[in-house]
Amino acid sequence: MTDIAPAGSDLSNREEEVAAAYAAGQSYKEIARSLGLSPTTVRSHLRAVYGKLRVTSKIELARFLADRTGLEERRDSTAIAAELALELDDAVRRERSLAKLLRIISDRGDQFDAAIDAVLDHALEICEAEFGILFEYEGDLRFREMRSRNIAPAFAEWLAEQTVFEVDPKTGLGRVAREPQTLNIADVRAEEAYRSQAPLRIATADLGKARSFAAIPLMSSGALIGVFTVYRTRVHPFNERALELAQMFADQAVIAIESVRQYNELQARLDREAASREILGVISNSRADEQPVFDVILKNAARLCHAPFAGLFLVDDSGGHVSLVANLGARSEYLERALTRWSMDSDASIPKAIANQHVVHIEDLKDSDAYRTRDPQRVDAVEIEGIRTFLAVPLLHQGRAIGAIGLYLREVGGFGRSQIELVETFAAQAVIAIENVRQFKALEARTKEVQKLNAALEMRVEDQVGEIERMGRLKRFLSPAVADAVITSGDEKMLSSHRSLIATLFCDIRGFTAFCETAEPEETIEVLQTYHEEMSKLIAAHHAGVDKRMGDGIMVILNDPLPCEDPAGDAVRLAIDMRDRMAVLCKKWKKLGHRLGFGVGISLGYATIGMVGSEGRYDYTASGTSVNLAARLCDRAEDGEILLSPRAYIAVEDDFAAESSGEMTLKGIREPVEVFRLLGAQMRSNSGPDAA
């Protein structure tokens, strides 16, 4: 037999260098950086090394390089084994990267920058891209840079100058915004967007030095929230594997964004609640002087709205002028001269908000008629003080405006709806403080009534704090309808256990369990979300008092705690509307291959109603035979059927046509029950011979 040539004798010098570095534990990226190669070239060299040396693992490679002895002859599948070994290394590397990312996102849910940086870093390494950008979508082809890694300084400076910018529909971002799907561009300079001088494409190619480019949409609840982009500075299009990897990291970016959004919303709510408590506390301790209240209001307004200046203005006793009585933030000659006192006839934002008794919100002072016509005061506001966005919220008391709170920003963008509502709350609290002080001073003149006044003011503030806490507690644990009913009545005893005549409606999706077993999780969530959203609209439109959700099942209670004249009839009308809407939805779902239906059961009878649960988790619900009967009727209803209990049928038989389906033995119901099936959606005619 002919001797086999020693393995490894035909390795090139470059293959020797790559093999030695890889066996020593360096990654593709580290080898590429040290040898001046691309990660793809490193991988090609390793594939050749594995085949020539007839090794199938990094361990065998290290052993061979250590003693340079040949290995026994391999079978013909050596090349395949080497390829699989490299694929396994890639897969392990990807899985480790993904696991690390998920840990980072979990550990740093409130640190958006750190989580996104980790996503971008790993995406660039795994996808063999030079740089990457995460863009936030603002709608109407408008984007802003949210985060980037390894971007060229000139390109980074260009993006920073744009803030929110509109893109050409021919660019990659424009095409993804129009049709959210992964986009792979082989050469950014070879497309019409570059030839037509689209600003973003020119900046990407000339400033960013990008050639090949991939854009992956970031979707949340079916809506585009951003675009994840990766770039190569050479013409080397991303293959299908690279795009799959990019999509994986885009999904992680969505998780990070949603995690931070939820955290920020929670933090903002806690900050607002803390601010309200602080202000109410100062109100209770500042009966004779509203200035401390003004100061704490402006401090919180400026902090929560990220405004460099906040001022509180009051109309004088004559009603002809408005003056700055408290302020927080930047001071300049302009502020001293222009913001101190205005005539109520002025066109300035503060007098306008007071005169018209509504919010004045100017998103960009430069983009206003007053600035374009070079109104001196508007020009000074922009060019001396640097004001770009201005907000004025009136202080309303007994049908008239007595002043206003003003805030400004030095950047364009405007105040958000939640921020404006927050300032409106602060304005109302300022009015309370002003009115409290006025009353206190008026009563203080009558020394015999001072103690009585103090007690009244303290009680008033305590009642306000108690009401705020009570409302917050109820709306956390109860449905909006029940919470509003309790707040309106002023008595929480209505939540205690009691007996009441109610109509109970149960409905659910036919075939949903089978659908869940075959559908993708995303499809299941989308169907369930659409179903609950549409049913919620109908339940609210029919003024039902209470509804509960259990997967695809919904329970609706009518006539408690919100009374109605015809609970059974209202339940039937709601069921008909539900069935009609579900017929449309099921037809749409059927086109997607989902065979789903809808059934309803309705009963009328007495049940035990009340709030059950423990601290932190309460629910308002009903129990009893009548409730169980409605649930069992729903179980027996076929697609499109609305089944009625005998008592429910008797209550609606003059208005709706129904037929008996005979007696049925229902689980949990002791005796057989005659069941009635609603016929169509038409109401009976009242014009027969017995009509009056």
Residue 363, pLDDT above cutoff 90? no
What is the C-alpha separation between 227 and 211, in angstroms, rounded? 18
Residue 256, pLDDT above cutoff 80? no
At 465 the pLDDT is: 65
At 193 the pLDDT is: 92
CA atoms within 13 A on the CB side of 548: 16
What angle is formed at CA 584 by the lines to CA 578 and CA 586, rounded to 5 degrees?
A: 95
DSSP string, 615-674: TTEEEEEEESHHHHHHHHHHHH--TT-EEE-HHHHHHHTTTEEEEEEEEE--TT-SS-EE
Residues facing residue 215 across a β-bridge: 183, 229
At 47 the pLDDT is: 85
CB 609 within 8 A of CB 502: yes
What is the C-alpha separation between 329 and 301, in angstroms, rounded? 11
Per-residue pLDDT tens digits for 568-585: 999 999 999 999 999 999
| DSSP secondary structure letter of residue 130 | S
Mean pLDDT of the chain: 82
CB atoms within 10 A of CB 198: 20
Residue 180, pLDDT above cutoff 60? yes
Neighbour-count burial of 306, counting CB atoms closer than 10 A to its CB (0-12 exposed, 13-18 middle, 19+ buried): exposed
At 241 the pLDDT is: 77
Report the largest interatomic distance among the alpha carbons of the chain, rounded to a whole angstrom: 124
Per-residue pLDDT tens digits for 459-498: 777 766 666 666 666 665 556 666 676 777 666 676 778 8
Q: 168, 166, 177: which is closest to 142 by C-alpha? A: 166
Query: Three-state SS string across 78-99, please?
Result: HHHHHHHHHHHHHHHHHHHHHH
Lowest mean pLDDT among 4-13, 184-193, 658-667: 4-13
CB atoms within 10 A of CB 525: 12
- Tokens at 560, concatenated: 């408690």
What is the C-alpha separation between 31 and 42, in angstroms, rounded? 7
Span 679-686, average pLDDT:
59
What is the C-alpha separation between 365 and 372, in angstroms, rounded? 9
CB 391 within 8 A of CB 423: yes
CB 650 within 8 A of CB 677: no
Span 171-198, average pLDDT:
92
What angle is formed at CA 359 by the lines to CA 357 and CA 363, rounded to 5 degrees?
A: 150
Per-residue pLDDT tens digits for 523-540: 999 999 999 999 999 998
Higher-confidence residue of 98 and 410: namely 410
* Cβ-proximal residues to 573 (8 Å cutoff; 6+ apart), any chain: 542
User: Model's pTM, two decimal places?
Assistant: 0.39
Span 434-455, average pLDDT:
75
Mean pLDDT highest for which of 81-95, 108-122, 550-564?
A: 550-564
Higher-confidence residue of 535 and 449: namely 535
- Tokens at 140, concatenated: 């109407």
Residue 676, pLDDT above cutoff 70? yes
3-class DSSP state for residue 401?
Answer: strand
CB 405 within 8 A of CB 426: yes
**How do 165-166 and 142-149 pair as beta strands?**
antiparallel
Q: 407, 601, 384: which is closest to 508 by C-alpha? A: 601
Neighbour-count burial of 118, counting CB atoms closer than 10 A to its CB (0-12 exposed, 13-18 middle, 19+ buried): buried
CB 545 within 8 A of CB 478: no
At 98 the pLDDT is: 56
**How do 309-315 and 321-329 pair as beta strands?**
antiparallel
Per-residue pLDDT tens digits for 203-222: 999 999 999 999 989 888 88
Span 138-163, average pLDDT:
88
Per-residue pLDDT tens digits for 3-53: 333 444 578 888 888 888 888 888 888 888 888 888 778 888 888 888 888
Higher-confidence residue of 106 and 293: namely 293
In this prediction, residue 688 has a pLDDT band, given cuts at 50, 70 and 90, of very low
Higher-confidence residue of 204 and 687: namely 204
| DSSP secondary structure letter of residue 171 | S
What is the C-alpha separation between 86 and 397, in angstroms, rounded? 75
- Tokens at 293, concatenated: 């209240």
Q: 278, 339, 609, 293: which is closest to 436 by C-alpha? A: 293
Buried b (16+ CB within 10 A) or exposed e, 57-76: ebebbbebbeeeebbeebee
Span 328-333, average pLDDT:
68
Residues for the chain: how many in total?
692
What is the C-alpha separation between 577 and 541, in angstroms, rounded? 10
| DSSP secondary structure letter of residue 346 | -
